[in-house]
Structure 1
Amino acid sequence: MKKLTLNEASNVIGGVGFQWKCKTTGWESGWHLTYGGAAKFAYAHEQKYSGHKTVVFPV
């Protein structure tokens, strides 16, 4: 079985990390290694700014 390079793996699985985006303002976060890490900051953003909605996605 061929070992994939990091670039090849990211093309196959859709990324190697996560970001979150505020759907209210369009602001995008920096890169996060885990979904949980990105989700934690996205939730904190929603708590700080009432009415803002966020989404976490792979990159």
Structure 2
Amino acid sequence: AAREITEDALEHAKGYLRSELGKRIKLFRIPELHFKYDESLERGMSISHLIDQVAAEKPVED
């Protein structure tokens, strides 16, 4: 639900963000903005959690 709300907010603000970029960046044309959700943080946290589980189950051998 939070992801959808964020996507909607970014879509709604796209024109404003583009106009602000145009004020700050000296380009002939300001590019269109496209937003794509990045799942890498969630995937990394999931992998880290799995590693923690395995580490807790196996005793360390010297």
Length-normalised TM-score, structure 1: 0.33
Say which structure, 1 or 2, has more relative contact order (CA 8 Å, 6+ apart).
1
Length-normalised TM-score, structure 2: 0.32
| Structure with the largest fraction of helix | 2
| Structure with the largest fraction of strand | 1
